[in-house]
């Protein structure tokens, strides 16, 4: 998911968000859309040749939909209890028990698009050679004159396909190495807020993996039902970004995460981005695995009121310009702007155009003795339209800081809330205080 502009209310087809901006798309190579959707007539040909197996995705609200009528030779999917968290070996075993080896084309259909999408991800993760979706479902099949069967499946069990390298998921180690790196976009799907305007989605604000963007794949589904056009998915995703002029790069690898592997939005996001010809993976362990044990970095959005409360513990009237001992407070603006006015106790560290090794060196020089696993690191910039604090959070995470606070509102929110800004004639010469988490240079 972010130094994000909350000012000019832009709209996208009547919708918009300061976290998801309408950006004019630059000319790019003509995208290649994979053949995910399949029509009834093409499917009929595959079935006649014995090269496809339909898999009926049952909705929880309609558990008997398979028995009432299904495609010829179709098998029913499994219950969420059988599925567990959807590990690849488990899915291969479930498929084999229903007579699907993974070598044939598996064609999904059913009444629930999110269930179809989850199965699409699970089957791709399990290494099925080809996974398709019947466009229009059972109704489209009937419209082409296709026959419908009732009763249980008569397909014998099969030998599962040998395990393959899982290209549909990443683990926490892979993700930790990829944070903030060019070519990887991390999307947090936990907030079901569509493409509305909001300051920061609440779950995302309470804590997220560094350098994430909030993203709700349900907002991409057409209101009238069915699947969106691949080009429209690309267009809509191309409006997602931290601020105007900084959209995600569609050539990136997109990684989706939720609370855990059970969130249906993971499969939906995976399917829709695949449909659009994008490289997409899922981090199945999600936020729950990422935060287990408290050993990995997280970012939480902090408000001016909460930050002021923390600073007042050592600086009751916010009139002293001494760096706090209980946290590290970094002002990432230009030195001249820092000198004009900054938060009490902040340390000036101009971030723009600073190479990564320069940032690492400055942090080591200033806070070499700090316990990066525990010391709160608060980052701020000019305001919600400045992304320096977002990028600095990713760099700090790679340097071992685990407790990162993103004061997204920056100087603008601080001033508007009525808190004082202090001037300093020599901002870059100030030395940080020794933080509570370890001894820094005096």
The model's pLDDT over 135-178, given as tens digits with 9 standing for 90+, comes to 999 999 999 999 999 988 888 999 877 766 778 999 999 999 99
Please give the average per-residue pLDDT across 201-205, as a whole number: 92
Tell me the three state secondary structure of residue 254: strand
Hey, which of 91-105, 254-268, 354-368 has the most confident mean pLDDT?
254-268
Q: How far apart are CA 144 and CA 381, in angstroms?
A: 59
Q: In what order do the strands lie in the sheet with 184-188?
A: 212-214, 184-188, 253-257, 279-282
Q: What is the structure's pLDDT at 13?
A: 32
* Contact yes or no for 413/383 (Cβ under 8 A): yes
For residue 408, what are the β-bridge partners?
none
Element (H, E) at 404: strand 403-407
Please give the average per-residue pLDDT across 79-102, as a whole number: 91
Hey, which of 11-25, 301-315, 423-437 has the most confident mean pLDDT?
301-315
Q: What are phi and psi of 428, to 5 degrees?
A: -80, -10
Q: In what order do the strands lie in the sheet with 130-134?
A: 37-38, 130-134, 105-109, 52-56, 75-76
* Contact yes or no for 134/108 (Cβ under 8 A): yes
Report CA-CA distances (Å) from 82 to 79, 87, 95: 5, 11, 12
Q: What is the structure's pLDDT at 6?
A: 29
Q: How far apart are CA 257 and CA 283, in angstroms?
A: 5
Nearest to 36 by CA among 247, 276, 215: 276
DSSP state of 17: B
Q: What is the structure's pLDDT at 392?
A: 96
Nearest to 107 by CA among 85, 92, 128: 128
Q: What is the structure's pLDDT at 28?
A: 55
Please give the average per-residue pLDDT across 21-42, as a whole number: 74
Contacts of 165 (CB under 8 A, 6+ apart): none
* Euclidean distance between the first and the last CA atom of the chain, given in angstroms as a whole number: 36
> Counting Cβ atoms within 10 Å, is residue 381 exposed (0-12), middle (13-18) or buried (19+)?
buried
Contacts of 118 (CB under 8 A, 6+ apart): 86, 264, 266, 267, 268
The model's pLDDT over 422-432, given as tens digits with 9 standing for 90+, comes to 998 654 444 54
Q: What is the structure's pLDDT at 68?
A: 85
Q: What is the structure's pLDDT at 426?
A: 53
Q: What are phi and psi of 254, to 5 degrees?
A: -95, 130
Q: What is the structure's pLDDT at 27?
A: 52
Q: What angle do CA 306, 312, 315 make, to 5 degrees?
A: 150
pLDDT tops 70 at residue 365? yes
Tokens matching residue 259: 């609370």
DSSP assignment of 334-381 equals -HHHHHH-B-TT-EE---TT--HHHHHHHHHHHSTTS-TTTS-EEEE-
Q: Count other C-beta atoms under 10 Å from residue 206's C-beta.
A: 13
Q: How far apart are CA 150 and CA 53, in angstroms?
A: 16
Domains of the chain with CATH codes: 37-143 (3.40.250.10), 172-294 (3.40.250.10), 298-429 (3.40.250.10)
For the chain, percent of residues with pLDDT exceeding 90: 69
Tell me the three state secondary structure of residue 68: helix
On average, the pLDDT of the chain sits at 87
Q: What are phi and psi of 21, to 5 degrees?
A: -105, 145
Contacts of 344 (CB under 8 A, 6+ apart): 311, 315, 318, 319, 320, 321, 420, 422
Beta-sheet pairing, 253-257 with 279-282: parallel
Tell whether pTM > 0.85.
yes
């Amino acid at each position: 998911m972010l130094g994000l502009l909350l000012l000019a209310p832009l709209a996208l087809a009547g919708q918009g968000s300061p976290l998801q901006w309408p950006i004019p798309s630059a000319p790019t190579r003509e995208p290649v859309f994979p053949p995910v959707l399949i029509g009834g007539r093409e499917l009929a040909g595959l079935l006649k040749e014995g090269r496809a197996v339909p898999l009926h995705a049952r909705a929880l609200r309609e558990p008997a939909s398979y028995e009432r009528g299904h495609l010829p030779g179709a098998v029913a999917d499994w219950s969420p209890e059988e599925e567990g968290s959807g590990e690849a070996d488990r899915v291969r075993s479930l498929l084999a028990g229903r007579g699907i080896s993974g070598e044939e084309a598996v064609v999904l259909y059913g009444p629930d698009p999110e269930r179809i999408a989850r199965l699409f991800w699970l089957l791709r993760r399990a290494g099925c050679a080809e996974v398709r979706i019947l466009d229009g479902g059972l109704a489209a099949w009937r419209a082409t004159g296709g026959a419908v069967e009732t009763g249980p499946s008569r397909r014998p069990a099969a030998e599962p396909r040998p395990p393959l390298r899982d290209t549909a998921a990443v683990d926490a180690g892979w993700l930790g190495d990829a944070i903030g790196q060019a070519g990887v976009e991390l999307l947090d799907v936990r907030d079901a807020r569509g493409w509305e305007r909001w300051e920061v989605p609440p779950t995302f604000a309470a804590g997220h993996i560094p350098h994430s963007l909030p993203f709700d794949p349900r907002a991409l589904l057409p209101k009238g039902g069915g699947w969106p056009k691949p080009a429209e998915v690309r267009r809509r995703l191309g409006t997602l970004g931290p601020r105007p002029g900084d959209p995600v790069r569609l050539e990136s690898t997109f990684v989706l995460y939720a609370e855990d592997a059970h969130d249906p939005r993971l499969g939906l996001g995976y399917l829709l981005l695949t449909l659009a010809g994008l490289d997409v993976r899922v981090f199945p362990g999600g936020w729950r695995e990422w935060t287990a044990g408290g050993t990995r970095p997280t970012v939480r959005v902090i408000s001016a009121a909460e930050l002021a409360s923390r600073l007042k513990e050592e600086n009751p009237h916010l009139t002293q310009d001494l760096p706090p001992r209980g946290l590290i407070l970094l002002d990432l603006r230009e030195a001249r702007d820092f000198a004009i006015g900054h938060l009490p106790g902040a340390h000036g560290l101009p971030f723009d155009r600073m190479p990564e090794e320069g940032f690492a060196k400055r942090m080591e020089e200033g806070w070499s003795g700090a316990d990066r696993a525990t010391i709160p690191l608060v980052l701020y910039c000019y305001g919600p339209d400045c992304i320096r604090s977002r990028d600095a959070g990713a760099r700090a995470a790679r340097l071992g800081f685990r407790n990162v606070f993103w004061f997204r509102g920056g100087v603008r929110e601080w001033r508007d809330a009525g808190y004082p800004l202090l001037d300093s004639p020599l901002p870059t010469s100030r030395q940080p205080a020794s933080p509570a988490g370890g001894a820094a240079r005096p």
